Chains A and B, each alone.
Chain A
């Protein structure tokens, strides 16, 4: 009997150790297939782009739903729009407003614009979600959407960063794209503005900006890797 217990405990220990090891390996892991080793599945740039674009599409879809919901319940008349200040806090960021402008813009610039936008929206969305959670006017569905939106933007930003990194690695873009460590640094003056924005304005602004991001990503993709679905 004691022999059995010993063996069992030993096996258990081994199992636990293995689990830890694997975990540690995943946490402190270097980028997957850093050295392009054999048998390692490398994600292609096109693949990355597709994923990111899908992500941005999802984000925009959610923002659209929330916006229409807001419009339905809180703004019965369209004329009301005019009275509301439509200054988004991201209007300072220079973004191309046309196809020509966007196509003329360099890849690095475009990538940076995307990143800026995504960074700028991290905090406002988080606060927006907080507001929604506390408001009794909103139902749980909307609150969940707001939370999802916030998370998605976060994910999207990481994804775009990865894409940029990949592009830099591949030499497609130069290393001028700086990883923006602190979001507040880019928009110090606007930091207080978004707090003043009403929920509806915020939603409108974000809806537009998510569309921009999606569009820019598509342009970027079709410019860099045009062979897949362009």
Chain B
């Protein structure tokens, strides 16, 4: 029973609670002031937001209190500004005065007060948007621009200076999203440039007091920019055309100068530029012809200037009945040798009688050629031996030639006897005297050859033998004429006695008186092939060179020996006279005849027919037959 009652009571209570929950009235909830705004700083409006009304009709009231006054006033106008608003008109609005505003919600059950809000009208000004916004398209030198103009909101009194507004506008193309903002300041007009031709623009303006809130944006103004002339495109066209022209011109220039360009970029490979060198011959493979072009015919210069350098010495050739041939060596030979060698480093070189030897041999060869001629003329007496001699001579000449070559190559050494035999080169530019000497050489070689065939006198040095058989020619100028009679004479003499054959000898001046004349040969010079160029000297000239009269005698000189001072002693055999006082000789055991001898210093430059003695190697000083190997001699020092 009691339990049952309690349960029912509980249930009833629950039901009642549930019932009343839906319908329960309560005092209103606290409202809240949302904002207060003044559009022109003369009036203002406040808005509130009511809370829950608690199920009962609730009224709201706004009360305000002014600064430093305790009087509470109620909102004068609830309706002008709409619902839940309070509008304060000019009379009720005081600027620079703090308002304390409160909203009260009231219903049957109770009241609710909102939180008070302090406001100063000056700081809640939010003007209306600008009005009469106009946008026009204007043109500036062909380029369009937008001119936007507006007016301040009519309520805001900017004329009296009560409110100062600043404006801002924004622009965008219709299809764009982002606006382009422009701050206009206090002015009421603004220009917009850089428009797109044919675009549609949207423009909006808003304003703000110097201390307040921004107004809302004005209504959008639409404007369409007309399609102005496609200057951009035309510019591009111009640029394209211009660049095309430039390109074409450049190409044409390049084409015109392609050769130069080619030379610049790919310079041609320079070919060989040797004077006288023919590339075609090289390609053909005939080297001889090629290099022949390189040979300078004039080298070494065969001028007579060298003649002066030489110490004029005489080569005296004796043709004796006794078949003695005296040769006078000239110092010139040495000098000529020296000259020929063209290297003064080695004193020995060029100075040696070997060189002169070779010269002699050169002339010998030459003479040999001539000899053939004379042979024909002078050779009825030629024997078989002579023929053999000839052969030998050829050989010797070859040797000599080789020797000459070797002489050239080396530093001036004449190695062997064969070198003595040297072909006599022909010199086209040779002066007359040279020719004569050449001729004399020929003659000399002629007799040389004949002598060599003497078996008795053929020694190991036979090859090396060199002697001059001077075939006296009739006259100097007519050198070409083979001195036939003299030749023969020579021959005869040669056959008879070739016992003493001396070739290189100290200058021997003496002539055979028996032979009447002593022929002097003056060594002109030594050519490049180490050939001794002889020049006949006139008998009467004696010591001085320069006379070119042909002597008429043949004198052979025999090398006596070499003294301790390395002086070559030549012996004149059967000589009685001493034409040249400077002939050095001594008594020869062979012949016994001696003549004056004079020592000549080697260093002294001879004058006339003074010759320097030829230094001789000691071991070779004495030879049985009196021949001296000048080659070996030349190996010594100061020649």
Residues of chain A touching chain B, judged by Cβ–Cβ distance below 8 Å, are 57, 60, 64, 78-79, 81-82, 86-87, 91, 95, 97-100, 102-103, 208, 211-212, 215, 218-223, 226, 229-230
Contacts and interface: CB of A to CB of B under 8 A. Distances in A.
Given A91-B68, A223-B161, A230-B158, A97 B95 contact: yes
Contacts of B158: 230
Nearest to B94: A97
A99 B164 contact: no
Nearest to B93: A98
Given A86-B68, A97-B97, A211-B122, A222 B161 contact: yes
Interface in B97-131: 97-98, 100, 115-118, 120, 122
Nearest to A214: B210
A114 B118 CA distance: 26
A221 B161 contact: yes
Given A57-B210, A87-B68, A222-B159, A211 B116 contact: no
B118 A78 contact: yes
Using C-beta atoms within 8 Å of the partner chain, give the interface range for chain B: 20 to 34
B255 interface: no
B41 to A, nearest CB: 7
A48 to B, nearest CB: 15
Contacts of B211: 60, 64, 211
A62 to B, nearest CB: 13
Interface secondary structure of A, over-half rule: helix
Interface in B247-263: none
A82 B96 contact: no
Nearest to A99: B162
Contacts of B41: 99
B186 interface: yes
A95 B97 CA distance: 11
A230 B160 contact: yes
Nearest to A209: B96
Q: Closest 8 CB pairs between A and B?
A: A222-B161, A218-B161, A97-B94, A99-B162, A219-B161, A97-B95, A81-B118, A208-B96
B426 interface: no
Contact of B96 (A60, A95, A219, A220): A95
Contact of A86 (B67, B95, B116, B210): B67
B160 A103 contact: yes
B419 to A, nearest CB: 98
B42 A99 contact: yes
15 contacts: A79-B116, A81-B118, A86-B67, A86-B68, A95-B96, A97-B95, A99-B157, A99-B160, A100-B90, A103-B160, A208-B120, A215-B162, A219-B161, A222-B159, A223-B161
A153 to B, nearest CB: 18
A102 B116 CA distance: 29
- Kindly name the residue among A98, A103, A219 whose own CB sees the greatest number of chain B CB atoms within 10 A: A98
B374 to A, nearest CB: 112
B113 to A, nearest CB: 13
A60 B186 CA distance: 19
A223 B160 contact: yes
Nearest to A87: B68
A79 B98 contact: no
Contacts of A91: 68
B81 to A, nearest CB: 20
Nearest to A217: B161
A97 B42 contact: no
Given A82-B100, A212-B96, A229 B160 contact: no
Interface in B34-48: 41-42
Given A95-B96, A208-B120, A219-B160, 5 more contacts: A78-B117, A87-B68, A98-B42, A99-B42, A230-B161
A222 B95 contact: no
A95 B41 CA distance: 16
B291 to A, nearest CB: 89
Contacts of B186: 229
A98 B164 CA distance: 15
Contacts of A208: 96, 120, 122
A196 B164 CA distance: 35
A78 B160 CA distance: 34
A97 B161 contact: no
Nearest to B158: A230
Contacts of A102: 162
Interface in B122-159: 122, 157-159
Contacts of B162: 99, 102, 215, 218-219
A228 to B, nearest CB: 11
A140 B105 CA distance: 48
B68 A230 contact: no
Given A78-B118, A86-B67, A91-B68, A98 B161 contact: no
Contacts of B116: 79, 82
A86 B96 contact: no
A64 B68 CA distance: 22
B68 to A, nearest CB: 6
Interface in B160-187: 160-162, 164, 186
Contacts of A57: 210
A98 B88 CA distance: 13
A143 to B, nearest CB: 24
A90 to B, nearest CB: 11
Nearest to A95: B96
A98 B210 contact: no
Interface string B336-377: 000000000000000000000000000000000000000000
Nearest to A97: B94
A79 to B, nearest CB: 7
A91 B68 CA distance: 10
B160 A97 contact: no
Interface string B204-247: 00000011000000000000000000000000000000000000
Contacts of A99: 41-42, 95, 157, 160, 162
Nearest to A100: B90
A218 B160 CA distance: 8
B208 to A, nearest CB: 14
A30 B453 CA distance: 149
B511 to A, nearest CB: 106
Contacts of A223: 160-161
Contacts of B95: 97-99
A220 B116 CA distance: 36
Contacts of A60: 211
B90 A98 contact: yes
A80 B291 CA distance: 124
Contacts of A221: 161
A81 B118 CA distance: 8
